Amino acid sequence: MTASWSRVRVVGPLESYAGGFAGELLAAGFTDLSTAEQLRLMGHLSRWLGERGMPAAALDGPTVEDYCRARREQGYTARLTPSGLGQLVGFLRGAGVVTAEAGPEADDSPDDRLVARYRRWLVEERALVEAVVAAWCKIASLFLGLHPGLSVGSAAVGTGEVTRFCVQQFPGRSSSVARNMAAGLRTFLRFLHLEGLVAGPLAQAVPAVANRQGAGLPRFVAPGVVARLLAGCDRRTCRGRRDYAILLLLARLGLRAGEVARLSIDDIDWRAGELVVHGKGNRHDRLPLPCDVGEALVGYLRRGRPKTVETRMVFVRMIAPRGPLSGPGVTWVVYSACERAGVAKFGAHRLRHTTATGVLASGGSIVEVAQVLRHSRIATSAIYAKVDFAALAPLARPWPGGVA
């Protein structure tokens, strides 16, 4: 039976690239129907370029915007923005048909150049992970957008402007988001001071956000719930083997969602029975690989992980485009497991708390909890002392008037 994508005809400037584009889509895990849809989009764009006498190399950012505008005017209801052409434009860039600067992200303003330098500083000097770098760069862009000329030194910014920004942006957000924004703003203000764009250390002008961290009890789940999550994974399927291995890493080793997502095949030392975990602050820790976790990983790598994926990351997406699973993707694996097990939904970090409380329940100490969770400070693990009921029991005084 002939595949539907092979019946799609592309004519015009992009005609010679249709076969390569289809091959890349199929290798990335796209279905036959999805590949046909992408090729029809390619054909429409190719005809549009041909009608205007434009070669494929003319497909820059403004041209993509013009095409999307024309597509909207013609009454189409899908692929109406540049992001909708991301797969196609990305392929053409990789093939060298259009330059890497093509697309709406090609803007190279002074603000963009300053944020790019800030990004490099965060990675090289502060050794922050990509998720934090991306979030703090957004805060920097937001601050620069409200103070035009600051990136070239033509705008004066003082404590009043910093306070005004905080008053505008922090209210209405959760305390954790506001604290992260405050931390990102302080860091950016320090960077501006290093760059000579502000006169003084304005980071001190960012107010502290109320922090109730540690006021409550660490939330964990019972061992029976973890067993139900694992039992709900259908290990006869590729997705089930993947989810089972992810849940074991979270529950047995107490890894964070991002650490599971960053786990590479090269990080597993099968002969030594260890794996390398890429944690916060660019830390690399070697942990023992329990037998059940190792067996789950082997089962997934041999009979679950797609063979056509080029990435070295262990866990990949099950839907196209095939690629590394993200930290939020790992959390959604836990959400799905909760739904299958019929329990109230919770996130991946709850399993990390469960690992810590399990250490205490088996007679371990707070120091051992800190070692398992790889906390750099013992004070970070002190919150788990609140649920060490065996250690707290001798401290409880008899109830007045009760039985001695």
Where is 286: in which H helix or E strand?
Answer: strand 284-288
Q: What are residue 316's phi and psi, to 5 degrees? A: -125, 165
User: Catalytic: which of 256, 262, 350, 353?
Assistant: 256
The amino acid that residue 389 corresponds to is: F
Residue 238 token pair: 């590729």
Length of the chain, in residues = 404
From first CA to last CA, the distance across the chain in angstroms is 84
User: Catalytic: which of 190, 384, 386, 397?
Assistant: 384
349 classed as catalytic: yes
Distance CA 5, CA 37 (A): 8
User: Catalytic: which of 79, 350, 352, 353?
Assistant: 352
307 classed as catalytic: no
Distance CA 230, CA 221 (A): 13
Residue 346 token pair: 């919770």
303 classed as catalytic: no
Helical segments of 52-171, H only:
61-73, 86-94, 110-124, 130-145, 159-169
Of the candidates 31, 21, 138, 35, the one whose C-alpha atom is nearest the C-alpha of residue 90 is 21
Distance CA 275, CA 289 (A): 6
Distance CA 105, CA 144 (A): 17
Of the candidates 91, 5, 87, the one whose C-alpha atom is nearest the C-alpha of residue 40 is 5
226-229 contacts at long range (C-beta below 8 A, 24 or more positions apart): 226/251, 226/351, 226/354, 228/341, 228/342, 228/343, 229/334, 229/337, 229/338, 229/340, 229/341, 229/343
352 classed as catalytic: yes
The amino acid that residue 148 corresponds to is: P
Helical segments of 172-222, H only:
175-195
Residue 115 token pair: 């944020």
Residues designated catalytic: 256, 280, 349, 352, 375, 384
